[in-house]
């Protein structure tokens, strides 16, 4: 009854056209944890005086909490219009709500779905699908390592949503689904270099665009996927970055086990850098409502640069109080080599690239409620 009242209130704020919708669904997740995090082991402190070690601090995190609206309208002939508006909610700090997550409009039918707007591509989607922890968020998320070259806080370029994007998603064919997305070059601009006149004859124009393609197979206890995401800056040096992912997971009844492989390559005039990473996610049900969750990941050195690798280990316990409410306790740590600066992909500690070798670590206890 309460959800119906909320839906009617929202509908009352919309134009009269909203009442023609076949359905409008309000959904989301509230995920709040109490955290204690720190960073230790900064290798630059003794020589450069730049101490990146951060003492333990407490905080409250909203862990990718969100609120969304989605719906469809029957157009006849097997076609329907589909739409979605979804935004993050930073309720730990009273942050503003905005439609900064997957938000789009499209047409769906027997041929599949075509949608345009801000979208999650198949590469990001595959990485999230391999997450063993509830909500694929928090300091345990695999985006602490994947998609990056040598480090960085937050999500990589390949683990963010693409704006100005159009995508096609095929129907399932015996469990196999194909997705192809094109990121438009709306940000086309002059390509300026320091100390050089910015003219078309000298420098040309930046023409940034990209594509993201993937295959996903899911039948019974087996899930597998292969994706490739490439972004071309279109500048004079010819910068091009590519991420390739291969993953598989098996549900053996008492739990799950999987393997995610991720390779990043950056190319430009005189530059060719590569880095490979992998993750092993597992879950094990110890009771009908409780499970142990863990994953271990390893990022290798960036080619041509030593001591730029890192490892990550996360362990937790999740107890389902209902189908929609989970209480959880997790611990996570990234161990950086001397020249690496990987930080958590969600809720980073924040020591920065100048503190190479610092190791972020922490624990979270909290509740996730989906609706």
The reply to whether 13 falls in a domain is no
Q: In the numeric block, which tokens belong to residue 193? A: 């270099």
| pLDDT at position 238 | 73
pLDDT band at 190 (very low <50, low <70, confident <90, very high): low
Q: Is the pLDDT of residue 192 over 90?
A: no
Is 101 part of any domain?
Answer: yes
Arithmetic mean of pLDDT, 40-50: 58
Look at 201-210, 233-242, 341-350 and tell me which has the smallest mean pLDDT.
201-210
CA 169 to chain centre: 19
Instruction: Indicate the pLDDT class of residue 350, thresholds 50, 70 and 90.
Output: confident
Residue 290 covered by a domain: yes
pLDDT attached to residue 206: 62
Query: What is the average per-residue pLDDT within 241-252?
Result: 97
This prediction has a pTM of 0.85
- Region 259-282 average pLDDT: 93
What pLDDT score does 8 carry? Answer: 35
- Give SS3 for 322: coil
Question: Does residue 9 form part of some domain?
Answer: no
Going by C-beta distance under 8 Å and a sequence separation of 6 or more, which residues neighbour residue 60?
A: 32, 33, 34, 35, 92
Residue 18, pLDDT score? 44
Q: Give the lowest-confidence range in 34-43, 136-145, 275-284, 341-350.
A: 34-43
User: Taking 90 as the threshold, does the pLDDT of residue 351 lie above it?
Assistant: no
Number of independent structural domains in the chain: 1
Residue 219 and residue 175 in contact, taking contact as beta carbons nearer than 8 Å: yes
d(C-alpha 246, C-alpha 279), whole Å: 11
Residue 2, in any domain of the structure: no
> Where residue 327 sits, what CATH number does that domain have?
2.40.160.10
* Residue 209 resides in a domain: yes
| Least confident residue range of 14-18, 79-83, 261-265 | 14-18
The pLDDT, as a whole number, for residue 13 is: 35
H/E stretch holding 309: none
Residue 87 lies in a domain: yes
- Domain containing 316 equals 39-192+201-370
Distance CA 21, CA 23 (A): 5
Q: Give mean pLDDT, residues 231-236.
A: 77
Selected residue with higher pLDDT from 196 and 23: 23
244 in Cβ contact with 260 (< 8 Å):
no
Q: Could you give the CA distance from residue 77 to residue 272 in angstroms, rounded to a whole number? A: 51
Whether 1 maps to a domain, the answer reads: no
189: pLDDT confidence band, cut at 50, 70 and 90?
Answer: low
Number of residues in the chain: 371
pLDDT reading at 91 higher than 90: no
Cβ(168)–Cβ(113) below 8 Å: yes
Q: Average pLDDT in the 291-320 region?
A: 96
> What is the gyration radius of the CA atoms in the chain, in angstroms?
22
Q: Does 220 score more than 50 pLDDT?
A: yes
Highest mean pLDDT among 52-66, 132-146, 192-206: 132-146
Please state, rounded to an integer, the average pLDDT across all residues of the chain: 86
Determine the pLDDT at residue 193: 53
Mean pLDDT confidence for 152-178: 93
Which residue has better confidence, 95 or 309? 309
């Amino acid at each position: 009854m309460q959800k119906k009242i909320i839906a009617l209130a929202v509908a009352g704020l919309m134009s009269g056209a909203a009442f023609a919708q076949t359905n409008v669904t309000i959904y989301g997740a509230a995920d709040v944890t109490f955290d204690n995090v720190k960073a230790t082991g900064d290798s630059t402190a003794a020589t450069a005086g730049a101490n990146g070690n951060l003492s333990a601090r407490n905080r409250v995190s909203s862990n990718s909490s969100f609120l969304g609206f989605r719906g469809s309208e029957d157009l006849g002939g097997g076609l329907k219009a589909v739409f979605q508006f979804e935004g993050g909610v930073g309720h730990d700090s009273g942050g503003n709500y905005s439609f900064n997550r997957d938000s789009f409009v499209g047409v769906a039918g027997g041929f599949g779905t075509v949608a345009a707007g801000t979208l999650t591509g198949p590469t990001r989607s595959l990485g999230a699908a391999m997450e063993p922890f509830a909500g694929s968020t928090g300091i345990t998320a695999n985006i602490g390592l994947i998609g990056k070259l040598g480090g960085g806080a937050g999500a990589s370029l390949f683990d963010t949503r693409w704006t100005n994007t159009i995508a096609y998603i095929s129907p399932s064919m015996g469990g196999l689904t194909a997705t192809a997305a094109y990121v438009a070059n709306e940000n086309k601009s002059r390509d300026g270099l320091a100390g050089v006149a910015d003219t078309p004859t000298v420098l040309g124009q930046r023409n940034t665009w990209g594509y993201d393609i993937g295959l996903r197979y899911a039948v019974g206890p087996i899930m597998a996927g292969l994706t490739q995401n490439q972004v071309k800056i279109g500048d004079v040096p010819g910068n091009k970055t590519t991420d390739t992912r291969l993953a598989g997971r098996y549900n053996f009844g008492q739990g799950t086990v999987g393997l995610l492989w991720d390779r990043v390559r950056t190319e430009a005039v005189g530059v060719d850098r590569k880095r490979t990473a992998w993750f092993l996610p597992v879950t094990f049900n110890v009771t009908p409502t409780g499970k142990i969750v863990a994953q271990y990941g390893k990022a290798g050195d960036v080619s041509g640069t030593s001591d730029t690798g890192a490892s990550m280990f996360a362990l937790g316990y999740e107890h389902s109080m209902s189908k929609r409410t989970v209480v959880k306790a997790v611990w996570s740590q990234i161990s950086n080599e001397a020249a690496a600066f990987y930080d958590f992909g969600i809720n980073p500690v924040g020591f920065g690239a100048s503190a190479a070798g610092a190791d972020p670590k922490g624990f979270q206890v909290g509740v996730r409620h989906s609706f």
